[in-house]
Amino acid sequence: MRVFADSFAEPVQALIDKHEHVQAIRRWRAWPWDVGRNDVSIIATIEPREVRWSERLGRLMGHLLNVADVPDRCDFYMGGIVTNGSLKLAISTDGKAPILAKRMREWLEDVLPEDVEANLEELQALRRELKGDFAQKQATLRALTRHFRDQKAS
């Protein structure tokens, strides 16, 4: 993966340094030979000329595009993902309010119990041991997990 920018903020540079497959290219403009065909481009700049150039290049090369904060020019949206053990929750506002998706992700990370993985493993073991037909198993698992639906966040 290549990231193009004249300069990188310290957190971005730290993230680039952490991943050996990410290459930082210190110029904002990518050229056709810099990118592959049918790739994905995420355009995250507020400079209009950079957005126009990057979008044109991406379209020319057949890329799927995400133009940050411009939902009508996106082929896909970047959702927030909460990961807690084997539990994965995705949040998206279809590009309408990314800050809300971010705040919801942060809130979910705070309210989810730390023992989610242990609960998932217990439910998996129970699910394997349940006898009866599908409807009976489903009714038992619904009864056991109903408290999640009934709990209110405080």
Q: How far is Cα 103 from Cα 111, in angstroms, rounded to an integer? A: 12
Q: Are residues 23 and 60 in the same domain?
A: yes
Q: Report pLDDT for 153.
A: 52
What is the reported pLDDT for 99? 87
pLDDT on residue 117: 92
The model's pTM: 0.63
Pair 136, 87 in one domain: no
One domain for residues 8 and 60:
yes
Sign of CA dihedral 7, 17, 14, 69: positive
Q: Convert the pLDDT of each residue in 124-152 to its tens digit.
A: 999 999 988 999 999 998 888 887 777 65
Is 145 in contact with 151 (CB distance < 8 Å)? no
| Domain that residue 49 falls in | 2-73
